[in-house]
Amino acid sequence: MVIQEQRSLQYDHTFGIHVNTNYFVELAHEEDAVPLLASLTKDHRPLMIMGDGSNILFTGNFPGTVIRVNTKGIIIKEDDADSITIRVSAGEVWDDVVAYCVGKGWGGIENLSLIPGRTGAGPIQNIGAYGVELKEVFGELEAVHIETGEKKVFSREECWFGYRNSVFQTTLRGQYLILNVTLRLSRNPVPNIEYGSIRKELERSGITSPTIKDVREVVCRIRRNKLPDPGVIGNAGSFFKNPVIRSDQFEGLKIQYPEIVSYPDSNGVKLAAAWLIQQCDWKGKRIGDAGVHQEQPLVLVNYGNATGQEIQNLAMMIRQSVVSRFGILLEPEVNIL
């Protein structure tokens, strides 16, 4: 493995910010993880684990070592008439995994199509879209402790999954490098089409008995129409989480704002952050090269030469606007470094 010094990260993360890292190394094989970490931790430099960098905003150079996880492999662990369990290497591109599984007729993750990033990042954020979350098909994951080099298998319960959250975002943040993720998928899938936009798109296409392939195609179509391509304009997808508030707080808001967009949630009521931001007139706004996407106000974009600090400043102004008008503090979904 070659360690590069003073490596630009501009093309290693989807915001495309002009930043450097002191050191950069690629992890291509799981068996190299423990010796690599052992050699790097001796230097006591900060470490950051990165896949595609699709959920990161750099506000400055990274003063340590970036490890890009690029491990590959999908292995069948269990297989029966009803389900199949696969172990996926952390460096596999997530949407490639979805496409592979849908192609095999294995259902459960088709609603998570076109979510950017690598598989190892999925459990950290408990990725979710269109009525489905990763935790619903999650079996376990294997990870290595960065400081000690000890490997550990985490069950679903040990991951403490929540809305766009897990133990790896809270108490164990920055402590583990995920090696692989085990998923349990259905051999007799029943497509989940309850999410409104999926059902409408299927109806528009004249599909009355959708397959998981149909659902994947529809989800991809919706996402491509709704979200900007990071290859064209720098962004990290949804910048903020949809806030969950108490039911009584929602009822008060609904009296004042009858058109407020909401969804049921086990912890109260989930609001559409995009709607809140749009009501504060941020949709399409631009300050220098930092802006709010003209079609999707939940997405902040780099029009070319924005700094991470400029995008963070824009995010802070948006948050303040939403607090002032609705009394709701938006929480970033993107990791800000």
Which bin fits 296, alpha (ψ -120 to 50), beta or left (φ > 0)?
Answer: beta
89, 113, 166, 238: the active-site residue: 238
Q: Which of 87, 156, 164, 319 is catalytic?
A: 164
Q: Are strands 262-265 and 268-271 parallel, antiparallel or unpaired?
A: antiparallel
Structure tokens at 14: 């989807």
Q: Which of 142, 199, 136, 196 is nearest to 163 (CA)?
A: 136
The answer to whether 238 is a known catalytic residue is yes
Active site residue 205: no
d(CA 319, CA 329): 6
Catalytic residue among 26, 110, 136, 333: 333
**Best CA proximity match to 56, nearest among 257, 239, 286, 281:** 239
Which parts of the chain are beta strand (E)? 4-8, 20-27, 47-50, 56-57, 62-69, 74-79, 83-89, 128-129, 132-133, 138-145, 151-155, 176-186, 234-238, 244-245, 262-265, 268-271, 286-287, 290-292, 299-302, 335-336
Q: Which amino acid is at 93?
A: V
Whether 164 sits among the annotated catalytic residues: the reply is yes
Q: Which is it for the CA torsion 86, 157, 243, 176, positive or negative?
A: negative
> CA-CA distance, 133 to 135, in Å (whole number)?
5
**Do 126 and 162 touch, CB atoms closer than 8 A?**
yes
> 125 vs 18, 54, 195, 317, CA distance in Å?
25, 12, 21, 25
Q: Cβ-count burial of 68 within 10 angstroms (0-12 exposed, 13-18 middle, 19+ buried)?
A: buried
* Positions marked catalytic: 164, 238, 333
